[in-house]
A and B are shown apart, each in its own frame.
Chain A
């Protein structure tokens, strides 16, 4: 995998996050505030990644109209989906951190990995030794 592919993979997940969290907030009032904070954070990250790709003169992967996230009928399902998405974002940040040779990009990825790991907790996750790495319980 190249750094560009890793960056695009991360952007795909940010697109999905920007789509998912308003859906969660709209469907479950008790999750609305949490979803709004998550959406705001992912919106900032998505815009940063889009800017970065623009600077690199790389066509960014586009957002989809909607995402097949599975059943979203209960708050518990919504929380689980949100947590899994944050885990996937953490993995994408980590992949990019290991692939890029640009130190500023690496610092940004490490910073956003922390955000994703902490967000995982706000969506019902428990601390793990190595968030974002494969084979972690």
Chain B
């Protein structure tokens, strides 16, 4: 799994500032999302999906930054899997062109992991609502699946020591 920093290094990253994704750009983004997770693309983007996708991308990139910051601050914790999953999520919806600002993780590992679990749970609930809000069936499925993966992370990360 290529890390976000590596992606940025290749210049292949898309920018979340493309929050104003136009119709054609959104079509490509949704097609990419659908293909990346094995769904046949559905070539009829809805304008509301554009706004939703931009918000999801911003959220997921912030979460990725938080996970990366925690992994960097606590290398003894085995957070590779979580970095990988969050990178997959951010890659699916659009990797940020710059690292979002996030609060420094707690120096206490237990508190830091607890904060990550809460952040995953919050993102999971939000993505579940987003899935129902989405118009494109491909986006519905990607966001619903992403939500389920985030709930898994929220649960499983509690066991990280």
A-side interface residues toward B, CB under 8 Å?
Answer: 90, 93-95, 97-99, 103, 106-107, 109-111, 113-114, 116-118, 120-121, 125-136
Contact = CB atoms under 8 A, between A and B. Distances in A.
Contact of B128 (A111, A118, A121): A111
B54 interface: no
B156 interface: yes
Nearest to B125: A114
User: What 7 A-B pairs have minimum CB-CB distances, sorted nearest first?
Assistant: A134-B38, A117-B148, A127-B152, A129-B88, A98-B141, A135-B38, A98-B137
B132 interface: yes
Contacts, number: 101
Contacts of B132: 103, 106-107, 110
Contacts of B16: none
A5 to B, nearest CB: 14
A127 B140 contact: no
15 contacts: A98-B138, A110-B147, A111-B128, A113-B148, A117-B149, A117-B151, A126-B156, A127-B82, A127-B149, A127-B156, A129-B89, A130-B37, A133-B39, A133-B145, A136-B37
B148 A90 contact: yes
Contacts of B141: 94-95, 97-98, 132-133
B161 interface: no
B142 interface: yes
Interface in B102-150: 124, 128, 131-132, 137-138, 140-142, 144-149
B149 A128 contact: yes
A126 B81 contact: yes
Prevailing SS type, chain B contact patch: helix
Given A125-B152, A130-B88, A133-B39, 13 more contacts: A94-B144, A97-B144, A110-B131, A116-B148, A117-B151, A118-B151, A127-B82, A127-B155, A130-B145, A131-B152, A133-B37, A133-B38, A134-B38
B144 A117 contact: no
A61 B156 CA distance: 35
Contacts of A129: 84-85, 88-89, 92, 146, 149
A126 B156 CA distance: 8
B56 interface: no
Interface string B27-44: 000000000011100000
A99 B146 CA distance: 17
Given A97-B131, A110-B128, A114-B147, A134 B37 contact: yes
Contacts of A94: 141, 144-145, 148
Contacts of A99: 137
B66 interface: no
Contacts of A134: 37-39
